Structure 1
Amino acid sequence: MSLRKKTYEVVVVGGGHSGVEAALISNFLGASIAIVTMDKNAIARMSCNPAIGGLAKGQMVREIDVLGGVMAETADLSGLQFKTLNKSKGRAVWSPRAQVDKRLYEKNIYNKLSLSSVSIIQEEAVSVNIKHNRVKSVFLRSGEEIKCSTLIITAGTFLSGIIHIGERKILAGRMGEQRSEGITESLVSYGFFSGRLKTGTPPRLDRGSIDWKKTSVSMGDRNPTPFSYATKTFNPPNHPCHLIYSNSQTHDIIKSNLHLSPMFLGDIGGKGPRYCPSIEDKIDRFKERDSHLLHLEPEWKNSDQIYLNGFSTSLPEQAQQEALRSIPALRDTSILRPGYAIEYDFFPPSQVKSTLETKEVSGLFFAGQMNGTSGYEEAAAQGLVCGINAVKTIRGEDPLILSRDSSYIGVMIDDLITKDTLEPYRMFTSRAEYRLILRFSNTFERLLKQTKQHSLLPDKKLATLEKALELKTEARKELNKSITHTNILKGFKISQKTPAVKILKRPEVSIFDLPLKTSIKKTTLVDWLKKDLLYDLESDIKYEGYIKRHHKEIQRAIKNENQKIPQKTVFSTIPGLSKEAMEKLQHIKPENLGQASRISGVSPADISSLFIHLSK
């Protein structure tokens, strides 16, 4: 870390997962950079679940890795258990997840910052200085001004944060941590508009108070795949997690205390995450269910503090205790920290471009929960994109813009800027219409071109990815030429010599059944990557027809994406547009026809009218 200055090319407000990715990639690209954070000891803190990855999130973590981020490598170094989810389904939706030692994760991130030239300023940012629609500086609580060419705000849940535990309210950004005041008011004074969202976290339990004999053990994979392409040998620990279930008694106790829940009292104005509901929400919305699965997860190695995944709540602590003790394994449990809900300010992401730079102020970027997302991975991905594009803005270079067909990150950003964010946004595989080609295993292939174009990786890691792509291409050619004899494949009847690629299209045949000495098998690449490449090659071959159909759809969509819409377009003057379309288009200001077509309330007829107008 470098000595503190008064002027930086990039300043990042917030030291969470978004902030550290923004800072480290900006530093790698050669910019002078500072993080402003209220507590340097809380950098990269995992404030909720002690895990990285999961459904669609695992794909995003590897995308972060290929685009120069650090989350993947850090998760590999800090993991307690690794598992691929959705293995019973098609490979397009296989998603890796790691149970992580949260203390070690923070330490590993801090070590990366310590080895960089990133300055860490332990202060509170309170206002932004904007002149002539360009960011100039940020003011600290001390009155000090830090000048900057670009400013990235990644404030998480800290903007006017309020914690709710029953009727009790605590002004905080996170339990035990001061909230941030001033940034929202400063941005609103420049014409930005804000809203309120809510998220929550479950209680933390004392390990010694749990009857582990009344739980089921859940282990990770025996031979897991790492997140990062930089990881060589990979023999991670496999610490157990445990499973328990709520029951009808648990539900009755929660129902009898709903009148004390701030959500049901109307004390919380912010909308909560639809796909990560509190236990109160689950019981209220799914009345037919008499049990819900809960996971007991260690927060760090040999941790006495256990995270109860699936039991997010804002009920009073006494009600939480009573409900938990109705579960056999938790009869004598002690709560180390109660669950709580937290409400915070965010800025609807219709105010940012696909670069995540704000539309009205040059050099100002928003990332993470500022944009209404939920989750470490979503935040880290946005921070990375902001950091890259902040440096590109300073240098006057073309920005990094990720498309829906290239990455889950591209899907997320496109969703954010074209759809109304009425609740915290969480990534799922179902959000990606091209998920068959957005597999975890082919991340390097779909993003390598942009990674090279923007110089996002060190030479050694880039060489590994280039070698992997070269070998996959060679192996595909080899499979097309290879002739399999009738006596080679046991259990398969083949009447004549047949190309291996044709045999591989059979659903019951695996690429590992083929006795081929392919380039991949002979290479010096690490074993896990060889296996990954073979799996991915097999996926390409087995799903070839569907993939070709996807690519045809993508080519049609590209025509719309390439039709740019001038930023100063006045949509109310365009003949043929419905009133709703005029209002939505004027509000969101899409950058191209493709984005316009994905806005809720804009019909195909509206797009046709807009196309005619743009063609004049």
Structure 2
Amino acid sequence: MYDVLVVGAGHAGIEAAAAAARKNKKTMLVTGNLDFAGSMPCNPSIGGPAKGIVVREIDALGGLMPKAADQTALQVKMLNTSKGPGVWSLRVQSDKEAYKRWMKNALKHMEHLDLLESQAARLLVEDGKAIGIECTDGTRILSRTVILTTGTYMSGTILKGHTAVEGGPDQQPTLTSLSQSLRDAGLPTFRLKTGTPPRIVRDTIDFSKAEVQKGSEEFYSFSTESTSEEMISKSDELDCYMIHTTPKTHEIIRNHLQDSAMYSGLVKGVGPRYCPSIEDKLVRFADKERHQLFLEPETLDYDTIYVQGFSTSMPEDVQELMVHSLPGLEHAKILKYAYAIEYDAIDPLTMKPSLESKIVENLFTAGQINGTSGYEEAAGQGLMAGVNAALKTEGKDPLILGRDEAYIGVMIDDLSTKGTSEPYRLLTSRAEFRLLLRHDNADLRLMKKGHEAGLIDEARYQKFLNKVEQIEQWTKRIEEVKVSIHDDLVQEYLVSLGYEPLTRSLNLSELIKRPKISLYHVAELLGLSMDKEIADEIEIEARYAGYIEKSKKDAERMRKLESRRLSYDLDYLNMDNLALEARQKLDKIRPQTLGQASRISGINPADIAVLSMYAR
């Protein structure tokens, strides 16, 4: 008998098992092949727009992904630096083989965690509660809570051209009977689709026809604990490259559309809107003359290049023509052909914001089984499912992050409130408080919660408190430091940025509100010894103080609605004065707060006013 049983060792399963084990729960992780723990069957990278901030949030809650990504990176790059800090996001090009090894080693040495290489055949349910799983060999594993993180392996079908073969990514077996056992338990499932591009032998590519894409010059990391010594040096980073499709590429694809599994009628599931196949791009954006592609290294272990943006389900002979039509790839050798994959997912409207099922008690789900796409989205959900399953065994309330507290909170709220009919992907535009949810302040937002939940140890928390104290001290100090017209080095710096020299003394706090001025650099010129991470945090808060304050006030208004709890057993269908659409949607979703109810599509302010009276 375990406290927490996790099925699947992808990015969600790893974080779920690790979170439960960190809380000293007797935890079991079941996976078909431990060598594939943390596998990257698609893009060999971690982070990116919005996703990179999720990884920072996972770090603030004690997760494994940030450290693994830092220590197995081939290139590190901060994106969107020409825009405001609300959309800055870190991305690393990962060594996918080193990443798997890192994760396997971490799992094997984790206390309170048992590992089992087996396949789940069905969920065991008794009196409406999950009590464990039965494996394909007949072994039964019992647990107080169960977390399913099956990714694309649940009833997976590999699609290529006119062929469909049962299986999961990387030629791994699929879980065929598990989804039927979920349906038998009353959980509705639906089909989704994703895909992956071909892999090319590096030495057969002419990179002189591509535009080089280098990493950032500054040091960045996902984990606040990572050091430059643990990460790849700037001189050793590998380059990525950018190319574009050609008219010939488009002609080949259009001539063979009927051969694509996407357009031959073979695909039944809905594909990702924000990461479509190349043939889907041509159909959707017929007016575009070319599409951007990236050539990215996969690992130091072997000589392969990932063609990002070139996902397809065309037959292999057509893929050859398509690849050879690209600049620099005229003589390229394909080592692994692209394919699409269909799989079963659970309707996320059937789960609570804690990621526990509304239908089967003690059953939690995380990752692509909830209708999401992306390693980072999966890891964020896995961590929350793991800690909430552990808290459930303690009889405690779940940890639920607000939309103003974390991108993880935005994602889970979107899924449990609005649902999805296609693979869900996090975007900065989904977060109404994105100026509060920045890369730089993830630890300030979440580490206290992580410590209170038992995910952050005392030593790391004390180090964090020291950082908070330094920020407070330096914030006061720069109000007192005067920058004089006689500070020649500062004057030269201002002129180099295009400013006129100072004609009067200014407080340092006032000076750094000007665009492009670096607090860290000015502090150096004034002889002040300030940590760069702390300087950057203070600079952003000072420069965007007005906008940040407005966002905080908006968030506070939302929090008042969130504090108004709604009973789970309200009889919405017979509630007077509610619109018919509102009754039906509220009855299906059963929001936990007035705030959650207000975000349901089709619920209008008049409906919220009625609910407010019932809540009172």
After TM superposition, the score normalised by the length of structure 2 is: 0.95
1:212 maps onto 2:207 in alignment: yes
Equivalent position of 1:4 in the other structure: none
Equivalent position of 1:612 in the other structure: 613
1:570 maps onto 2:564 in alignment: no
Amino acid at match of 1:102: K
- Identify the match of residue 2 of structure 2 among 8, 17, 36: 8
Q: After TM superposition, give the deviation of residue 508 of structure 1 in Å.
A: 4.7
Equivalent position of 1:501 in the other structure: 509
Which secondary structure does the structure 2 equivalent of 1:69 belong to? coil
Q: Is the 8 A contact 1:162 1:342 kept in 2?
A: yes
1:320-378 CA-to-partner distances (Å, cap 9, x unmatched) read 11011112311111211111110100001111111111123221100000100000000
Amino acid at match of 1:549: K
Which secondary structure does the structure 2 equivalent of 1:264 belong to? coil
Equivalent position of 1:580 in the other structure: 581
Which secondary structure does the structure 2 equivalent of 1:296 belong to? strand
Q: Is the 8 A contact 1:64 1:381 kept in 2?
A: yes
Equivalent position of 2:436 in the other structure: 437
Equivalent position of 1:3 in the other structure: none
Shift of the 508–28 alpha-carbon distance from structure 1 to 2, 3 Å rule, reads closer
Q: Distance in 2 between matches of 1:243 and 1:406?
A: 35
Q: After TM superposition, give the deviation of residue 556 of structure 1 in Å.
A: 0.8
Q: Distance in 2 between matches of 1:465 and 1:246?
A: 47
Which secondary structure does the structure 2 equivalent of 1:307 belong to? strand
Q: Distance in 1 between matches of 2:210 and 2:183?
A: 50
Equivalent position of 1:367 in the other structure: 366
Equivalent position of 2:62 in the other structure: 68
Equivalent position of 1:108 in the other structure: 102
1:149 maps onto 2:136 in alignment: no
Per mean C-alpha deviation after superposition, the further-off stretch among 124-133 and 550-559 is 124-133
Q: Distance in 2 between matches of 1:205 and 1:484?
A: 56
Q: After TM superposition, give the deviation of residue 454 of structure 1 in Å.
A: 1.1
1:418-449 CA-to-partner distances (Å, cap 9, x unmatched) read 11301100011111110001110011111122
Shift of the 493–216 alpha-carbon distance from structure 1 to 2, 3 Å rule, reads closer
Equivalent position of 1:334 in the other structure: 333
Equivalent position of 1:514 in the other structure: 522
Q: After TM superposition, give the deviation of residue 610 of structure 1 in Å.
A: 1.4
Amino acid at match of 1:256: N
Q: Distance in 1 between matches of 2:128 and 2:61?
A: 30
1:556 maps onto 2:557 in alignment: yes
Per mean C-alpha deviation after superposition, the further-off stretch among 226-235 and 62-71 is 226-235
Q: Is the 8 A contact 2:195 2:339 kept in 1?
A: yes
Q: Is the 8 A contact 1:229 1:461 kept in 2?
A: no
Equivalent position of 2:223 in the other structure: 228
Equivalent position of 1:455 in the other structure: 454
Q: Is the 8 A contact 1:83 1:224 kept in 2?
A: no
Equivalent position of 1:271 in the other structure: 270
- Identify the match of residue 97 of structure 1 among 91, 98, 101: 91
1:84-137 CA-to-partner distances (Å, cap 9, x unmatched) read 111111111010000010000000011111111321111111111222222212
Q: Distance in 2 between matches of 1:448 and 1:517?
A: 33
Q: After TM superposition, give the deviation of residue 537 of structure 1 in Å.
A: 1.0
What fraction of aligned residue pairs are identical, expressed as a percent? Answer: 40
Which secondary structure does the structure 2 equivalent of 1:297 belong to? strand
1:459-494 CA-to-partner distances (Å, cap 9, x unmatched) read 332222222111111111111222222222304544
Structural mapping, 1:86-485, within 5 Å: 86-117=80-111, 118-234=113-229, 235-236=231-232, 237-301=236-300, 303-485=302-484
Q: Distance in 2 between matches of 1:427 and 1:263?
A: 24
1:502-551 CA-to-partner distances (Å, cap 9, x unmatched) read 222222533135347999x647xxxxxx3222112111001101111111
Q: Distance in 2 between matches of 1:190 and 1:259?
A: 39
Q: Distance in 1 between matches of 2:410 and 2:502?
A: 43
Amino acid at match of 2:205: I
Which secondary structure does the structure 2 equivalent of 1:199 belong to? strand
Q: After TM superposition, give the deviation of residue 163 of structure 1 in Å.
A: 0.8
Q: Is the 8 A contact 2:219 2:228 kept in 1?
A: no
Which secondary structure does the structure 1 equivalent of 2:423 belong to? coil
1:18 maps onto 2:12 in alignment: yes
Q: Distance in 1 between matches of 2:432 and 2:319?
A: 40
After TM superposition, the score normalised by the length of structure 1 is: 0.95
Q: Distance in 1 between matches of 2:606 and 2:237?
A: 55
Q: After TM superposition, give the deviation of residue 455 of structure 1 in Å.
A: 2.2
Q: Distance in 1 between matches of 2:480 and 2:586?
A: 52
Q: Is the 8 A contact 1:198 1:344 kept in 2?
A: yes
Which secondary structure does the structure 2 equivalent of 1:437 belong to? coil
Structure 1, unpaired ranges of 5+: 1-6, 524-529
Amino acid at match of 2:558: A
Q: Distance in 2 between matches of 1:429 and 1:260?
A: 36
Equivalent position of 2:593 in the other structure: 592
Q: Distance in 2 between matches of 1:436 and 1:515?
A: 25
- Identify the match of residue 48 of structure 1 among 42, 47, 53: 42
Shift of the 154–47 alpha-carbon distance from structure 1 to 2, 3 Å rule, reads same
Shift of the 168–508 alpha-carbon distance from structure 1 to 2, 3 Å rule, reads closer
Q: After TM superposition, give the deviation of residue 25 of structure 1 in Å.
A: 1.5
Q: How many residues align structurally?
A: 602
Q: Is the 8 A contact 2:2 2:143 kept in 1?
A: yes
Q: Is the 8 A contact 1:475 1:518 kept in 2?
A: no
Q: Distance in 2 between matches of 1:216 and 1:26?
A: 45
Amino acid at match of 1:323: M
Q: Distance in 1 between matches of 2:463 and 2:386?
A: 24
Amino acid at match of 2:291: H
Structure 2, unpaired ranges of 5+: none
Q: Distance in 2 between matches of 1:214 and 1:505?
A: 43
Q: Distance in 2 between matches of 1:168 and 1:209?
A: 28
Q: Distance in 2 between matches of 1:439 and 1:114?
A: 33
Q: After TM superposition, give the deviation of residue 405 of structure 1 in Å.
A: 0.5
Equivalent position of 1:527 in the other structure: none
* CA RMSD, 1 decimal: 1.6
Q: Distance in 1 between matches of 2:38 and 2:97?
A: 10
Q: Distance in 2 between matches of 1:305 and 1:500?
A: 50
Per mean C-alpha deviation after superposition, the further-off stretch among 91-100 and 320-329 is 320-329
1:205-263 CA-to-partner distances (Å, cap 9, x unmatched) read 11222122222221111223011011123452311112221111100100000011121
Q: Distance in 2 between matches of 1:248 and 1:516?
A: 53
Q: After TM superposition, give the deviation of residue 302 of structure 1 in Å.
A: 5.6
Amino acid at match of 2:35: N
Which secondary structure does the structure 1 equivalent of 2:169 belong to? coil
Q: Distance in 2 between matches of 1:413 and 1:108?
A: 28
Structure 1: which 4+ aligned runs deviate by more than 6 Å?
516-519
Q: Distance in 2 between matches of 1:223 and 1:55?
A: 18
Per mean C-alpha deviation after superposition, the further-off stretch among 307-316 and 397-406 is 397-406
Q: Distance in 2 between matches of 1:372 and 1:394?
A: 26
